[in-house]
Amino acid sequence: MTTLQSTALALSKRPARAPKPLKGVRVLSLSLNLPGPAALMRCRDMGATCTKLEPPGGDPMRSYEPQAYDTLMQGIRLKTLDLKTEQGQAALHKQLAQTDVLLTSFRPSALHKLGLGWRELYCRHPHISLVQIVGAPGQGAEVAGHDLTYQAEQGLVAGLHLPASLMADMGGALMASEAVLQAALLRAQSLIKHPGKPAKGVQLTVALSEAARWLALPRAWGLTAPKGAVGGAHAGYQMYACKNGRVAVAALEPHFAQRLCLASGLSKSDMRTMLLPATRAHLAAWMAGKTRSQLDKLAAAQDIPLMTLPA
């Protein structure tokens, strides 16, 4: 084997390095709780230099969920400032002079009281982009709300059960990190288009209610409604009970449905067949007679998308 071949083989065994599109971008966050810090974590993962300013009382998440807080803060520079004091304001603006993107999650009125409304910020630091996380767009940004209310508004809360995850918060975090990417891209485009001139910052707003609406679109389209293909109508896209647990089956595409049906003893697997209650009943009875281990081995051997779970 030649040296070149040896090097190529060694490189092929190394894990691929994730791209760092935000390398060199300085992000300062004033956000507390989950959406802002989760967005900052995403920016960190994309290579941004991330700093978080916390009030003297700290981030509430540190008290009610320290493990989550510690995870979110890994690789983040932490500073404590009282922005309601002259000293805190002076330290803040010193930090802003070295910042590319400011990430906030205050209501617009609270941001204005801190002297960080878009007009004030732009006049003092025209190079900075502002990414605002709010509850709802427009006037709704001043209305109290939280992940649960935004999910409920979009029909994502069933009965009296709490949602399995904080989807509006986490969806909003993704949209906020996307907004930071947009700001960086717009800055780069401006510098290319107007060489020699300083790039101006932009204001981008992310509403958690809009994040919930985006995540709820499949339900609005009918896909996850009870009669929708991935809402319960398709026998190959279901939750079933097995001997010692549960099975999440996602044999939606025709070739997956065919393998599932053949394994269970059914000869037909066309769409009409998969939408029949009798097909669901057949698969339910067949799954009930199998253990998790048997189903796991079957899935691996026949390339059927399913996941077994404890009861």
The DSSP string of 150-168 is HHHHTT---TTPPPSS-HH
Read off φ and ψ for residue 223, nearest 5 degrees.
Answer: -65, -40
pLDDT in tens, 225-274: 989 989 999 999 999 999 999 999 999 999 999 999 999 999 999 999 99
Structure tokens at 269: 């697997």
CA dihedral 51, 56, 61, 62 (to 10 degrees): 90
> Are 99 and 26 a contacting pair, CB within 8 Å?
yes
Question: What's the rounded Cα separation, in Å, for the pair 162 and 180?
Answer: 31
Read off φ and ψ for residue 230, nearest 5 degrees.
Answer: -110, 25
In this model, does residue 12 exceed pLDDT 60? no
Confidence (pTM): 0.88
Q: Structurally, what CATH architecture does the domain formed by 229-309 represent? A: 2-Layer Sandwich (3.30)
Portions of the chain given CATH number 3.40.50.10540: 20-220
pLDDT in tens, 179-190: 999 999 999 999
Q: Structurally, what CATH architecture does the domain formed by 20-220 represent? A: 3-Layer(aba) Sandwich (3.40)
pLDDT in tens, 166-217: 999 999 999 999 999 999 999 999 999 989 888 899 999 999 999 999 999 9
Question: What's the rounded Cα separation, in Å, for the pair 277 and 69?
Answer: 46
Token pair 């939606």 is found at 252
Portions of the chain given CATH number 3.30.1540.10: 229-309
